[in-house]
Amino acid sequence: MKQIYIETFGCQMNKADSEHMLGLLNEIDYKLTENIDKADLVIFNTCTIREAANHRFYSQLGIAGKKKKQNPDLLIGVAGCLAQDKRKWLQSNFPYVDIVFGTNNIHKLPELIQKAEAGKKTCEIEEELPFELPELPVIRQTKVTAWVNVILGCNFNCTYCIVPSVRGREKSRTPEVILKEVQRLASEGFKEVTLLGQNVTAYGYDISSNYSKEKANFGYIPEDPEYSLAKLLKYIHDIEGIERIRFLTGHPFHVTDELIDTIAELPKACEYFHIPMQSGDDTVLKRMARIYSVDKYKKMVEKIRSKIPDAAITSDFIAGFPGETQEQFLNTVKAVQEIEFDACNTAAYSPRPDTPSVMWENQISEEEKNEHLRYLNSVVNEIMEKKNKKLLNTLQEVLVEDVSQTNKNRLMGRTRKNTLVNYDVAGANCNKLMGKIVNVKITRANPWSLNGELTIAN
């Protein structure tokens, strides 16, 4: 058997794609190695959302290039969003790369590898996803929780975002195919599924019979659609063995009453909403083309909290969007404080090629962006720590996901609200607890995680 070393950058969807690449490669006798020096094939599954991820990738690619000099048989492949976006540039600047393939070509990987093994460099990029989304084999890197892609692409046109141009328009998988995958996961012992999509809250609309392709630019929900995320949650809820269901990432426009009511109703649907707000200022939101106002976002939060008082609401924010004034930035800080998010991912604005905002002249200096980011992070961390401290000495329901690599008496898992919990279980058989829902008494609260002690296994 030959060995593949794969390095994945970016979001969960990329991680899910990498698991499919491993499944496809397994069929042509490649098995995963964690050691790049043992690899016959190195694949970088890239992300292009932020410049920092690109830099990390270039440096890793340089290292792989040096290894290829010592071992000319080593094959190097570049996949993912950056490959989709910059194929020609990659090929001309990194001639030692053997395979460049895009996000819509993953199913062709075995064929491309075989060509590369025969000494032929290849570049395969499809602009559009295949009409029928192919069913791909998969080798999961997790044992208890699994990601399931349910919709690919995005119909919005946020002015800073490169996703629509690299991932294309929304395309949902059919519920039949998704249910088959989740049933298989349940039979293999998985307990939790996270339904993934760049805009997962639009799931199902594009495959509903009354969907209008003409109207389906940003801000569209077909009338009375046969398929939706809420309906999908209900179907998955019936699958025996699956204990928890989550979804990532949503857009506020598509957080419908039907979705909130369904999550309130279904015991297995985690009360966890990751709904990026991006800015707490109306002018900035407008320039980002996010199609909601601060007030609308707050009303969505109120609605969620009125139906699910204990819901966790988490968000993403961009600091230093072009033209953002001090006052507009402080409006974001104010919104974060008022809404009291359970967690926020924050990033300094990163200009991406081929997006409208990269062309604007009112770019903010790196220094100011970073200063704003630091301040926003301190506000976010303070809120998260305060919220987590309220959990001290309480019992939290945790799904046991893994045993610590460094301490065999330490387990890690997540609460229903997706907070990471590490806890010691001296004397218990850790492996036996994998996949169980246990009660953990919280003994320490940090902004991003909790520590605790195991009490009883349910």
Q: Is 36 exposed, middle or buried (0-12, 13-18, 19+ CB in 10 A)?
A: middle
- Interface with ligand SF4, residue 201, by CB under 6 A: no
- For ligand SF4, the closer of residues 5 and 253 by Cβ is 253
Least distance to ligand SF4, CB of residue 345, Å: 12
Whether the Cβ atoms of residue 219 and residue 256 lie closer than 8 Å to each other: no
Q: Which residues contact 210 (CB under 8 A, 6 or more apart)?
A: 222, 223, 224, 225
Torsion of CA 382, 388, 393, 398, to 10 degrees: -160
- For ligand SF4, the closer of residues 106 and 158 by Cβ is 158
- Interface with ligand SF4, residue 14, by CB under 6 A: no
Using CB under 6 A, which of the segments 158-166, 302-310, 398-406, 417-425 binds ligand SF4?
Answer: 158-166
Least distance to ligand SF4, CB of residue 288, Å: 8
Count of residues near ligand SF4 by CB under 6 A: 9
Whether the Cβ atoms of residue 185 and residue 148 lie closer than 8 Å to each other: yes
Using CB under 6 A, which of the segments 54-62, 155-163, 304-312, 400-408 binds ligand SF4?
Answer: 155-163
- Interface with ligand SF4, residue 10, by CB under 6 A: no
Q: SS3 for 66?
A: helix
Pairing of strands 312-319, 410-414: unpaired
- For ligand SF4, the closer of residues 83 and 163 by Cβ is 163
- What is the C-alpha separation between 194 and 186, in angstroms, rounded? 13
Nearest to 345 by CA among 269, 448, 422, 263: 448
Q: Which residues contact 336 (CB under 8 A, 6 or more apart)?
A: 280, 315, 317, 344, 376, 379, 380, 383
Q: Which of 156, 203, 272, 273 binds ligand SF4 (CB under 6 A)?
A: 156
- For ligand SF4, the closer of residues 20 and 251 by Cβ is 251
Q: Which amino acid is at 259?
A: L
Contact pattern from residue 250 through residue 289 relative to ligand SF4, giving x for each residue in contact according to CB under 6 A and a dash for the rest: -x--------------------------------------
Q: Which of 48, 103, 199, 357 binds ligand SF4 (CB under 6 A)?
A: 199
- Interface with ligand SF4, residue 158, by CB under 6 A: yes
Using CB under 6 A, which of the segments 5-13, 66-74, 100-108, 150-158 binds ligand SF4?
Answer: 150-158
- Interface with ligand SF4, residue 164, by CB under 6 A: yes
Identify residues 304-363 at the interface with ligand SF4 (CB under 6 A). Answer: none
- For ligand SF4, the closer of residues 161 and 277 by Cβ is 161
Strands (E), 271-394: 272-274, 312-319, 343-348
Q: Which of 54, 84, 165, 198 binds ligand SF4 (CB under 6 A)?
A: 198
Least distance to ligand SF4, CB of residue 279, Å: 12
Q: By 3-state DSSP, what share of the chain in percent is helix, strand and coil, each rounded to 5? A: 40, 20, 40
Least distance to ligand SF4, CB of residue 289, Å: 8
Using CB under 6 A, which of the segments 26-34, 157-165, 373-381, 395-403 binds ligand SF4?
Answer: 157-165
Whether the Cβ atoms of residue 233 and residue 266 lie closer than 8 Å to each other: yes
Task: Tell me the β-bridge partners of 148.
Answer: 195
- Interface with ligand SF4, residue 154, by CB under 6 A: yes
- Interface with ligand SF4, residue 163, by CB under 6 A: yes
What the block records as the tokens of 333 is: 């800080």
Pairing of strands 244-248, 192-196: parallel
- For ligand SF4, the closer of residues 129 and 236 by Cβ is 129
Whether the Cβ atoms of residue 178 and residue 148 lie closer than 8 Å to each other: yes
- For ligand SF4, the closer of residues 288 and 380 by Cβ is 288
Contacting residues toward ligand SF4, per CB under 6 A: 154, 156, 158, 161, 163-164, 198-199, 251
